[in-house]
Copies of this chain bind each other. A is one copy, B any other.
Amino acid sequence: MKIDEILLKMKDTSELMVDLAYSALLYDNRQIAEEVLTLEDQIDEWNEKAQYLAVKRARETREIRKALVLIRLANSIENIADAALRIADVVLRDIEPHPIIKMMIDESDTAIVSGTVSKRSPLANRTLGETRLATETGMWIVALRRKNRWIYDPDENTLIKPGDILIARGPVEGRAHFVNVLKGKEEL
C-alpha cells in the first residue's frame, strides 16, 4: 500500500472504531468491544508503516516538513483509535453498564440505533448500495449481525437479509424513521 492509501484506511477505521466503541458500551456487547481491540492492532501496524513511508519519502524528496505533517497526522489518528479502545475497554473489563453512559449515547446528536430487519422491510434482500440507506435516511450501518456472526463496516455490496440485526449511527431525528424502515412500516 502507498502512504495515501494507508492514511485513508487509518482515518476510516478510526471513525468506525469510535462508532463501535460507543455501540459496545450502549449495548454492553463484548464481541463489538473485541472488534475494536482487533482494529486497534491493525491501526498500530498501519501507523508504523505510514511513519516508515513518510520518512522514506522525506529522504527522497528532501521535504522534511511535509513528511512531519504526515507523521503527525498518522499519530493523531492512532490516538483517536487508542481512545476508542479505552472506551470499548470498559466493556471488556466486564464492568456493569452505566445508566449515565447509555443515556449519554442515546441523547447524542449522532444517535446509535439497533434493530432487526423484518421480512417486510424495504431493506430486506437488497444490498446496502441498492437501498442508498445512508443518503436516504442519514443512517450509516456500523455493524451487522447475522446468526452468530458479526460483519463490521459493511459496504455497498453487503446483502441485507431478513433477521439481520443492524447497528446504525446517524442524526437523532432519523432514528424513528429508521426503526420503522426496519419493521417494514415505512418506505425508505
Closest CB-CB distance, A128 to chain B, in whole Å?
10
Chain A: residues with Cβ within 8 Å of the partner, total of 53
Encoded as 1 (CB less than 8 Å from any B CB) or 0, chain A from 129 to 142 comes to 00010111110100
Residues from chain B with Cβ under 8 Å of A134 in the complex: 138, 170-171, 173-174
Encoded as 1 (CB less than 8 Å from any B CB) or 0, chain A from 110 to 129 comes to 10000000000000000000
Answer yes or no: A108 CB below 8 A from chain B CBs.
Answer: yes
CA gap between A26 and B136 in the complex, in Å: 26
Cβ–Cβ contact A98 & B83, under 8 A? no
User: For residues 54 through 74 of chain A, which have their beta carbon under 8 Å from a beta carbon of chain B?
Assistant: 65-66, 69-70, 72-73
Answer yes or no: A49 CB below 8 A from chain B CBs.
Answer: no
The copy count of this chain in the complex is 2
Cβ–Cβ contact A70 & B98, under 8 A? yes
Residues from chain B with Cβ under 8 Å of A105 in the complex: 11
Residue of B nearest to A4 (CB): B100
Answer yes or no: A101 CB below 8 A from chain B CBs.
Answer: yes
CA gap between A138 and B100 in the complex, in Å: 28
Closest CB-CB distance, A79 to chain B, in whole Å?
4
Answer yes or no: A151 CB below 8 A from chain B CBs.
Answer: no
Answer yes or no: A107 CB below 8 A from chain B CBs.
Answer: yes
Cβ–Cβ contact A69 & B101, under 8 A? yes
Residues from chain B with Cβ under 8 Å of A135 in the complex: 137-138, 170-171, 173-174, 177
Residue of B nearest to A88 (CB): B76
Since A18-B80, A79-B80, A80-B83 are in contact, a sample of 6 more A-B pairs with Cβ atoms closer than 8 Å, ordered by chain A residue number, is: A7-B101, A7-B104, A8-B104, A73-B90, A80-B84, A83-B83
